[in-house]
Amino acid sequence: MSSNRIKQVSSVDVARLAGVSRAAVSRTFSNNGYVSDVTREKVMLAAKQLGYRVNHLARSLNRQRSDLIGLVVADLENPFRSQQINDLSEAILAKNYRPFLIPTSVARDSTQVIEMLMHYCVSGVIITSDTPPEDIYKNCIEQSVPVVLINKKDKYPQVDRVVCDNEKGIALLVEAFVQRSCKRVVIIGSEAVSYSIQMREALFKEQAAQAGIETDTILGPNHDYQGGVVAANILSNQANLPEGVFCCNDYLALGVIDQLRERIGHTETEKIAIAGFDDMQQASWKSYQLTTIRQPTQDMASQTINLLVSRIGDPEQASRTYRTDVFLVKRTSL
């Protein structure tokens, strides 16, 4: 009986075609040990002709850890999150690891996430903001898997954190509203739980009060575009519109701007000083020109993977926190 199964090409096949030893093939693809340029060229040519690919997952079974880095992420529809994940993935690849993306949410059982991470023997895990719950990283630590948290308040032994300097960012924005002579600023936040959103809301209230600015707060159902639309509907119904509006992230701000234009018109919307936080790509679009605080996602990604690789090499280090710098980006919205 004939079979349609395609024979799996092995390193032995590559060695035979290249006329070298199997060990030379192994050294070529693992970058472990010396391989002459001539031998490397023979191996790579033979591998290309045969369609050979290294089975990294099979190799990981022998050394107990794969070269995968788990990226546990929520809120993927947020354009800023997409930008952040892209930069994290590039930073992981630059360190000769491979990103393994696991989307999660409040509805997803954390046990499922943990099982996926352990099933693939990940070398480390990066957990971004808004990702629930703490069971994920606690279980990773119990399994001796290094973890770095991004923009999360949690502090845990042997878990590193990379956080945005929200205090500096809010101080820069409050000063910008002061220069615009704003006496009253409405804060647009979210009912959904988010460390970054709630921290920015609290910081703005505190620092604005110190600067003599009156604040009110409107909470959308979530910290996304639609949340901004809902908040703008509430804002537009107020008898007296504020001089300024601070949205706790850019995604909210875009929804606020679009809906205010719809409800009160472009001219009246332009009279209100509006600012966001994050500097996602859409903030610079001509239709928005949003004043905001830039979180340098490349710097955040670089520091995150550096901390993770360091902990992979020395798991017993004390917990570390790296605070990324932020910058005010002034555009025409404020």
pLDDT (0 to 100) of residue 32 = 63
CA distance 12 to 18: 10
For 245, how many CA atoms within 13 A lie in the half-sphere containing its CB?
A: 30
Two structure tokens written together for 206? 């505190």
What is the residue-averaged pLDDT of the chain?
87
The lowest-confidence range among 76-80, 174-178, 218-222, 297-301 is: 76-80
Phi-psi region of 73 (alpha: psi -120 to 50; beta: other; left: phi over 0): beta
- Domains, the chain, with CATH or none: 11-54 (1.10.260.40), 63-163+297-323 (3.40.50.2300), 166-294 (3.40.50.2300)
Cis peptide bond upstream of 133, omega within 30:
yes
Residue 146 has pLDDT above 50, yes or no: yes
Average pLDDT over residues 142-155: 84
Average pLDDT over residues 122-149: 80
* CA-closest candidate to residue 209, choices 185, 238, 188: 185
* CA-closest candidate to residue 320, choices 132, 163, 161: 161
CA distance 78 to 297: 14
Residue type present at position 22: R
C-alpha distances out from residue 47 to 30, 90, 209, Å: 14, 26, 67
Residue 98 has pLDDT above 80, yes or no: yes
Report for 101-105, 252-256, 319-323: range of highest mean pLDDT: 252-256
CA distance 317 to 310: 9
Which residues partner with 329 through β-bridges? 292
CA distance 38 to 35: 8
Residue 59 has pLDDT above 60, yes or no: no
pLDDT (0 to 100) of residue 128 = 85
- Going through the chain in order, the beta strands assigned E by DSSP cover 68-73, 98-103, 124-127, 147-150, 160-164, 184-190, 214-220, 244-247, 273-275, 292-294, 321-324, 327-329
Could you count the other beta carbons within 10 Å of the beta carbon of residue 268? 13
What is residue 222's three-state secondary structure?
coil
Average pLDDT over residues 85-112: 83
pLDDT (0 to 100) of residue 3 = 45
